[in-house]
Amino acid sequence: MRRVLEDEQYQVSILQEGRDAFARVKTQLPDLLILDLKLGEISGQDILKRLKDDHVTADIPVIVYTAAVLEAEEVTWLISSDPRRYYGVHVVQKPFELENLLSLVEQVLNEPVR
């Protein structure tokens, strides 16, 4: 995924540990966050909720991806239950085609900021 995004001239920063994710996102303020829901010590859902609860990070668009069907359904339910709070959050289930991810990245980066 990283190589494909960099080949398309996107600047990519990767975090290996979920526990540092919120602080790093808040410091770097990326244009887009691609978030795996399986992060070890902390869940991607917890990071997503924290990002959307903080006024500094709430407007950062997020593409959430997972292989777990139940987790994908839970995040989809979160988005539909509070679309204002989770505006700009998209769910992608593994396996996915990298070309489809690239299309979604382009779409998300071109969406108007609220």
Provide the residue ranges of all domains of the chain, joining segments of one domain with +.
Answer: 2-106
Q: What is the pLDDT along the chain (114 residues), one digit of tens a residue?
A: 899 999 999 999 988 777 788 899 999 999 999 999 887 778 889 999 999 999 999 999 999 999 888 889 999 999 999 999 999 999 999 899 999 999 999 999 998 766
Other C-beta atoms closer than 10 Å to the C-beta of 54 total 13
Structural element, H or E, at residue 63:
strand 62-66
For residue 78, give Cα distances in angstroms to 8, 27, 34, 90, 104.
31, 25, 17, 11, 20
pLDDT at position 16? 74
- The CATH class of the 2-106 domain is alpha beta
Its pTM stands at 0.91
pLDDT at position 64? 94
